[in-house]
Amino acid sequence: MTDKYAVIGNPIGHTKSPMIHGSFAKDTGQDIDYVAIEGSLEHFADDVHAFRKAGGLGMNVTAPFKLQAFALATERLERAELAGATNALKFEGDRIIADNFDGVGLTNDIQRNLGFALKGARMLVLGAGGAVRGALLPFLAQQPELLVLANRTESKASDLATQLGAHGRVHSCSYGDLARERFDIVINGTSASLKAELPPVPAVALRNAKLAYELAYGKGLTPFLRLAHNAGVPKLADGVGMLVEQAAEAFVWWRGVRPDTRAVIDRMTIPLV
């Protein structure tokens, strides 16, 4: 019997997840049906329960439902707990299990696909929203020399740094203070690029960086990537690899089989410069 999975979001027309999971299933010989569901803004839980009752085994969750899915879960794994959000659910009888693969997907993309080690790196992360919260534990597990968080609402970054202090060398600072530091890897985890805006990061903070990574994908050379390019950063990347790698982690969690991500990433990649 064909096993059922889905991605739920609103809007959902833009989603690449059915294509990605369809490719994984074909390549690994898994018999699955993966569909996109436009979730109701008022009745998200009803949509999830209806899918479960129809035999659904798992769901990816995208905006704006990551917090509601977290609240709905009966069990939450550590990465989801820290993020306070989930991007993947697994259904087992009455159990709704929540995990968050955004961070591990990003870490895998940076290390395995792009070839930049996080161990010993000086990292700057812009933003303190859901995607960044999901990424911080996987980053710290790689033992960077330093992880600095900067966010428009500074208290969110400083709260996160305090919360994570036991896991590694992490601190927060204001955008204005970034000019005094040097970084190897700079990650734009804000949503500014979705509105073609630039977070107020000074160009000088990018002067020694080897990699500038934009979490948004499919936007080409965003204002942040343009700033990095003009500052001479030799490698630019957007979040397409993260998207495919987080999907691969969910696929392994659901199916017990690891798909190859390279061909899917290559197919989806748009040249940035």
Residues serving a catalytic function are 66
Binding site for ligand NDP (CB under 6 A): 102, 127-132, 151-153, 156, 189-194, 197, 199, 215-217, 239, 242-243, 246
By C-beta, is 128 or 265 nearer to ligand NDP?
A: 128
CA atoms of 45 and 220, how far apart (whole Å): 35
By C-beta, is 30 or 246 nearer to ligand NDP?
A: 246
Q: Are strands 88-92 and 56-61 parallel, antiparallel or unpaired?
A: antiparallel
* Cβ contacts of 68-77, under 8 Å, gap ≥ 24: 68/44, 69/8, 69/44, 69/98, 70/98, 72/44, 72/45, 72/48, 72/96, 73/97, 73/98
Determine the residue type at 190: T
Smallest distance, ligand NDP to C-beta of residue 237, A: 10
By C-beta, is 65 or 217 nearer to ligand NDP?
A: 217
CB-based closest residue to ligand NDP:
129
By C-beta, is 152 or 226 nearer to ligand NDP?
A: 152
CA atoms of 132 and 136, how far apart (whole Å): 6
Q: Exposed/middle/buried for 160, CB within 10 Å: 0-12, 13-18, 19+?
A: buried
Smallest distance, ligand NDP to C-beta of residue 29, A: 26
Smallest distance, ligand NDP to C-beta of residue 93, A: 29
CA atoms within 13 A of residue 263's CA, in its CB half-sphere: 10
Smallest distance, ligand NDP to C-beta of residue 8, A: 15
